[in-house]
A and B are shown apart, each in its own frame.
Chain A
């Protein structure tokens, strides 16, 4: 099946700094990408949906100024956590959907904010 990669797989940062997470579709063009977050022992919660070349659509309760999403190309979306706080520590998973309407998930990025 298609492959979605995320970089980095783990990141530790200090409170107040910004962190960028990349999501790439490696062998298909992703017209839509999704960002999820998962707290320990909990389910995946959809944060936002992004379509290539347009602004992301955020789910209720997700701060768009804190979680900046850029989907500049059909193979790359980035999530930037700005002014990170310890409560932002979580497992962030991206997902990419291509023209065939199949959806594939990345391996996740574990963010720890000290």
Chain B
């Protein structure tokens, strides 16, 4: 069975500093990995995904994530945080190669950027 873990409930960063939101995954086949962001009372917004290719994936709003197969991780990063980045972030995984596979979400990490 596939699973995804976000070990931090909350991450606090000062504006302008780099940020990292951690994610590790478990899947039996090749992983499809995703990051989504959710603002209060809103749906999910897609940030980026890894399917295949370069391990460093660049996404929306200056975010990027690095796929590390040996550590089964897909940490989200941004070089310089903005106050507007404050939101709830979800890592998700899907088993690749199967059209029937489903996306499973991590527990979420609340990112708080202080001015």
Binding site for B on A (CB under 8 A): 1, 6, 31-32, 34, 36, 42-46, 49, 91, 93, 95, 101, 103-108, 110
Q: A108 to B42, Cβ gap below 8 A? A: yes
Whether A105 contacts B43 in the complex (CB less than 8 A), given A34-B103, A46-B102, comes out as: yes
B102 partner residues in chain A, CB cutoff 8 A: 34, 46, 49
Instruction: Find out whether the CB atom of A110 lies under 8 angstroms from the CB atom of B103.
Output: no
CB atoms of B107 and A42 under 8 A apart:
yes
Is residue B27 within 8 Å, beta carbon to beta carbon, of the partner chain? no
A107 adjacent to B42 (CB under 8 Å):
yes
How many residue pairs link A and B with beta carbons under 8 A? The number is 42
Residues of chain B lying within 8 A (CB to CB) of residue A107: 42-43
Q: How distant is A34 from chain B, measured CB to nearest CB, in Å?
A: 6
Which of A1, A42, A108 sits near B43, CB closer than 8 Å?
Answer: A108
B31 is an interface residue with CB less than 8 A from chain A: no
Interface of A is mostly: strand
Which of B90, B102, B107, B108 lies at the interface centre, i.e. has the most chain A CB atoms within 10 A of its CB? B102
Enumerate chain A residues within 8 angstroms of B42, measured Cβ to Cβ: 107-108
Decide: A42 and B103 in contact? CB cutoff 8 A.
no
Q: Contact at A43–B43, with CB atoms within 8 Å? A: no
Complex A-B: 13 CB contacts under 8 Å = A32-B99, A34-B102, A34-B103, A42-B107, A42-B108, A43-B105, A43-B106, A43-B107, A43-B108, A49-B100, A93-B44, A95-B103, A101-B99
The residue in chain B whose Cβ has the minimal distance to the Cβ of A93 is: B43
Residues of A near B94 (CB, < 8 A) are: 103
Q: A34-B102, A46-B102, A49-B102 are in contact. Are A105 and B44 (CB under 8 A)?
A: yes
Q: How far is the CA of A49 from the CA of B99 in the complex (A)?
A: 12
Distance from B79 Cβ to chain A, minimum over Cβ atoms (Å): 25
A6 to B46, CA, bound (A): 17
Residue of A at shortest CB range from B88? Answer: A41
B41 at the interface (CB under 8 A from A): yes
Which one of B41, B100, B103 contacts A103 once the chains associate, using CB atoms below 8 Å?
Answer: B103
Considering only CB atoms, which chain B residue lies closest to A97 in the complex?
B99
A5 to B105, CA, bound (A): 21
Q: Can you add 14 more A-B contacts, CB < 8 Å, to A6-B43, A36-B105, A104-B46?
A: A1-B46, A34-B103, A42-B107, A43-B90, A43-B105, A43-B107, A43-B108, A44-B44, A44-B90, A46-B103, A49-B100, A95-B103, A105-B36, A107-B42
